Amino acid sequence: MTSEKVPKTWKTRGIYNTYLDAFEIKKLLLTNDETGKLEVKIRRCGPDGVRFKIKTYFPESKNEKKQTDTKTKSSRN
C-alpha cells in the first residue's frame, strides 16, 4: 500500500518590516504553543525581499479511528 502525501497548508500570520520584529513574533508563537506541534517559518516578501512574512502550520488532528467489524464471524471447527 502506498499512501499519498498531503501538502501542508501554511497560513500567513503577518508581514513585518524587519527580521527582528518577525523573529520576536515567531518566538512568542512557539512559546505559547502547548502541544509542540506548531511549525513557524519566516520568509522574505515584498519588492526585492525587504519585508518578512510569518507563516504557520498546525497539523489537523485526525479523529479517524479504524472501524472494526463488531460482528463475529462464525468459524467452522
pLDDT at 73 (0 to 100): 56
Kindly report whether the global pTM for this prediction surpasses the value 0.85.
Answer: no
Is the model more confident about 65 or about 26? Answer: 26
Q: Higher pLDDT residue, 55 or 67?
A: 55
Asked if 64 contacts 22 with a C-beta cutoff of 8 angstroms, the reply is no
3-47 per-position pLDDT tens digit: 788 899 999 999 999 999 999 999 999 999 999 999 999 999 999
Please give the Cα distance from 38 to 59 (Å, whole number). 8
Residue 75 has pLDDT above 90, yes or no: no
